[in-house]
Structure 1
Amino acid sequence: MPLDLEECAPEDVAVYSTLPELLEAVEAISRWSDRKAAVLDYVYCERLLKLIRTNAPREQLEEFNEHLVQVVHPLRQEDLDGLSLRYYQRWSLLRELLERRIESLRGELPQQLLAREHVSSILEYLSRARGPVSQQDLMRELDLRKANLSRILSRLEAHELIEKLPGKGGSNLISLGFRGRELELASATAPQPPTPTVEKPGTMARFSSLMADDDSPSPPM
């Protein structure tokens, strides 16, 4: 028997219900109400937040996205938009966020970003630190002005190479992000070339080895 979205507690549905059960409940609705839509809205937002917080694999994101494709059907738009909130648009935005996240996980890290000046230095420094470091420490390490470092960190954060954590006094702590840790693992397990006898490898060798194949300058970002 389908879930009764009119009577059940949203918290219980969010914890215990599967996507097929939710879809069955949606398809059983002959007349939408604010209560039913609000329960689903709560469940969808909670599910999306959990997927993001836990860095869920792409397969789970695609499963949720496919569910929303079936729920956010044009035939339901008029019924949903006739409620107190425009749920059709809200869930369409959730789909858009999911699709962007899926595209990001499918894609490669842009080589021009990895080859950008100071990027490999930042990733190496965070890798050696084995924990969050202050933005001020990064500024001193790289001898960069605050505005320049902030711009670089914003780009790295957008691609999940780093993550920012709240520090004391409103300052930021910086650590490797999800994709930064993946890159660190890949560089650690990659075959290492023989140690040169003339030139000593630089401290940025591990991360720079995963950058662009040629040494041509990258276009500005």
Structure 2
Amino acid sequence: MALNVGPDFKQRWLNVPEAVRQTFIDDLSRICDVLKPNSNTSEWLAYDQKQQQMSFELIEDAYASRKAELIEAARLRKQLALEQKLEQKRAAEQAAAEQLRQDEIRQYAAQTQTLALIRQSIDHEVQTYTSRYMKNPETVAINFSKHSAIPDHEILSELESVRVRLELEADSAIEQAISAFRAKLQAAAAEEIDYILKNSKFSDEKPLT
């Protein structure tokens, strides 16, 4: 009589837990013992019944351990995939935040340059108007200041007011840009925290009483 172990026996045999393989080997060894001419069949049957019960328990324990190992491996794979996904999301958010920061830096530099040009223009206008309304030398007999419709100090005061107003408007624009950048960073951080809570088991845990 030939023993038919079926197809793919090697692969199936290697996938069986070590304790189960050893149990099968022990069962086969007992069967070989009973086939010997001088074996006592009644004693062998009693012994085999006890050994089979032990074999069943060993097999159940072995498969239970294998099942627990497979569940733990699946949990670790899922956890690793979640961590990788979170890491990728965090890296993308950091890249976006860095890009936003660079944009804000460029905008701030452009605004600073514009403000500097405005100040230079104002200073130039102040100098132009100042030179235009300078007092005549004392040697000149005619006093043209009497014919001037606007006094010098009023013109200078008006130019100073324009300069201060432009500076305040530029400072306000810069402050608004910084506030918008901070708001974007806070929104990105809140979104990441919500994502972590939704994809973890912390939200499912009941609080300790």
Greater Cα radius of gyration, structure 1 or 2: 2
Instruction: Please identify which structure carries the higher strand content.
Output: 1
Structure with bigger RCO (C-alpha 8 Å, 6+ apart): 2
TM over 0.5: no
TM-score by length of 1: 0.25
TM-score by length of 2: 0.26
Instruction: Please identify which structure carries the higher helix content.
Output: 2
